[in-house]
Amino acid sequence: MKHTFRFLAMAALGGLEKIRQIVRIEGYVHSAEGFRGHPQVLNGASDLVSEIFGERGQHTRLALGINEMPLNAAVQLAMTAEVAD
- Which domains are present in the chain? 2-83 (3.30.1330.40)
pLDDT (tens digit per residue) in 24-77: 999 999 999 999 999 999 999 999 999 989 999 999 999 999 999 999 999 999
| pTM of full prediction above 0.75 | yes
Give yes or no for a contact between 46 and 25, defined as CB atoms under 8 angstroms apart: yes
Rounded to whole angstroms, the Cα distance separating 67 from 23 reads: 27
Cα 13 to Cα 26: distance, rounded to the nearest angstrom:
21
29, with CB counted inside 10 A (0-12, 13-18, 19+), is buried
